[in-house]
Amino acid sequence: MSAAPDHKPTFADLSLSDRIGKAAPYLLIPVLVVLGFLAIGSTSSWLTLTVSGLAMGMMIFIMASGLTLVFGLMDIINFGHGAFISVGAFVGITVLIWLGGWTGAPSLVLNVAAVLLAVVAAMCVTGALGWGFERVIVRPVYGAHLKQILVTVGGLIVIEQLIHVVWGPEEIFLNRPETLKGAITFAGAAIERYRLLAVAVGLVLFIAMRLVLRRTRIGLIVRAGVQNGEMVEALGYRLRLVFIGVFIAGSALAGLGGVMWGLYQEVITAGMGEEMMILVFIVVIIGGLGSVEGAFIGALLVGLLQNYIAFLEPKLALISNIGLMTAVLMWRPQGMMPVVKAK
């Protein structure tokens, strides 16, 4: 075969601002923390607020992680995610109540084991629920956003009602496992123990998701499949299986988020997941669709900013999230580090 004639497009150097642009979102967090310090003044308050804000961000990230997959990557607007969070919480908390002996004992090992079991149970149930949800509710509406909103809201209502049928209409109050209660105090700052657990879980999850999405083709297949599913199939991939798999994973992560959130709130209601949905959507959108890193940074920003603002000017706390979203979108209409382009 002949070689094609040479073709050498002209390349000039990248400008400095282009280079900084890529790293900018990562820099936001340290910048915010420093600004927070300057504004707050008192070191102990600042430390308390910063650590608990980061931990809150982690919990939000855990809940948003599933949505990054389902909404960010697969482009499915799934309000059912909120219901999965609730179901996860109910299942997990039920397990914890059964394991009352383990949670009541002042042993970290037993406590964490109980939480782990609860998480596994919750993830299994929500994963299975996600599977059914995908098959019955979501499948006919791939690619149609409005219909997705409607059917998944329908699904959300149905699942919430079923929670009422199974667990009754009352909210369930619970107490955290013994060793996760209370706070650790140092340097005048008090940090809830449970938040430290949340930080650990969030970090592990973040790293695991990054690895899976970087090392495998799954992310690529999903992104390509959303754009042109026919072509992905013509390349030999069973797109349906991949989609179902990712959807199940997203739902299971919602279950994990539910358990974590339920344990934080210490009271669970059927509507608890739904209440978090807007916040979770905001995180995924400001992070940039499909980006685990973006959602992570976004969640941390939300957590920190919420705390700082609530401390400095409580009146503004009402709109801190919305203000953050608007600001980020004005700066980057596609979110901070988009992997998928928004339509």
Partner 1 sequence: MLTRLLSGDKPRSTVLTVLLLVILVALALAPFLFPGVRSLETAARICIFIVLVASYDLLLGYTGIVSFAHTMFFGLGAYGVALSSVHMGRGWGALLTGTVAGALAAAVLALVIGLFSLRVRAIFFAMITLAVASAVAVLVSQLSGLTGGEDGLNYQIPRELTPAFRLGELFGVRVNGKVLNYYLVFGACLVLFLLLLRIVNSPFGRVLQAIRENDFRAEAIGYRVVWYRVTATCLSAAVAAIAGSLFAIWLRYVGPDTTLSFEIMLDILLMVVIGGMGTMYGAVLGATIFVLAQNYLQSLMGVASEATQGLPLIPDLLDPNRWLLWLGVLFILSVYFFPTGIVGRLRSGR
Partner 2 sequence: EIRIAHVYGKTGALEAYAEQSHIGLMLGLEYATGGTMEIDGEPIVVIEKDTQLKPDVGKAVLAEAYGDDDAHIAVGPVSSGVALAMLPVAEEYERLLIVEPAVADSITGANWNRYIFRTGRNSSQDAIANAVALGGDGVTVATLAQDYAFGRDGVAAFKTALEATGATLAHEEYVPTDTTDFTAAAERIFNAMGDIEGEKKLFIIWAGGGNPMSKINAMDPSRFGIEIATGGNILAALTAYKELPGMEGATYYYYEIPDNDVNDWLVTEHMERHGTPPDFFTAGGMAAGIAIVEAIKKAGTYEDTEALIEAMEGMEWDGPKGPMMFRAEDHQALQTMYHFVTEVQDGKDYGVPVLVRELGIEDMDIPINN
Partner 3 sequence: MSDPILTLKGVHTDIAQYHILQGVDLEVPRGQVTMLLGRNGVGKTTTLRTIIGHWQAKSGEIAFDGAAITDIPTPARARAGIGFVPEDMGIFTDLTVEENMILAAASGPLDKARLDWIFAAFPPLKTFWRSEAGNLSGGQKQMLSIARAMAEERKLYLIDEPTKGLAPAIVSTMAGALRDLKRQGASVLLVEQNFSVAKALGDTAAVMDDGRVVWTGAMAELAASAELQERLMGLSMEAH
- Residues engaged in binding partner 1 (CB under 8 A): 137, 140-141, 145-147, 149-151, 153-158, 160-162, 164-165, 278, 282, 285, 318-319, 322, 325-326, 329, 333-334, 342-343
Closest CB 141 distance from partner 1, rounded Å: 7
Under the criterion CB under 8 A, does residue 324 sit at the interface with partner 2? no
Would you count residue 183 as binding partner 2 (CB under 8 A)? Answer: yes
Token pair, residue 130, equals 């996600």
For partner 2 (CB under 8 A), the number of binding residues is: 42
Binding at 2: pick from partner 1, partner 2, partner 3, none (beta carbon under 5-8 Å per type): partner 3
Closest separation in Å from C-beta 152 to partner 1? 9
> What x-and-dash track marks residues 44-83 binding partner 2 by CB under 8 A?
-x--xx--xx--x---------------------------
Residues that bind partner 3 (CB under 8 A): 1-9, 217, 220-221, 223-224, 227-228, 230-239, 340-341
Q: What is the 3-state secondary structure (H, E, C) of 204-241?
A: HHHHHHHHHHHHCCHHHHHHHHHHCHHHHHHCCCCHHH
> Cα separation of 247 and 251, whole Å?
6
Is residue 174 a contact point for partner 2 (CB under 8 A)?
yes
- The residues that bridge with 242 in the sheet, in sequence order, are none
241-269 burial string, b = 16+ CB within 10 Å, else e?
ebbbebbbbbbbbbbbbbbbbbbbeeebb
Are the beta carbons of 189 and 196 closer than 8 angstroms? Answer: no
Q: Which of 35, 235, 267, 322 binds partner 2 (CB under 8 A)?
A: 267
Backbone torsions φ then ψ of 164, nearest 5 degrees: -60, -40
Burial track 163-174 (b if 16+ CB lie within 10 A, e otherwise): beeebeeeebeb
Residues forming contacts to partner 2 in the complex (CB under 8 A) are 42, 45, 48-49, 52-53, 56, 164, 168-175, 181-183, 185, 190, 192, 194, 264-267, 269, 271-272, 275, 303, 306-311, 314-315, 317-318
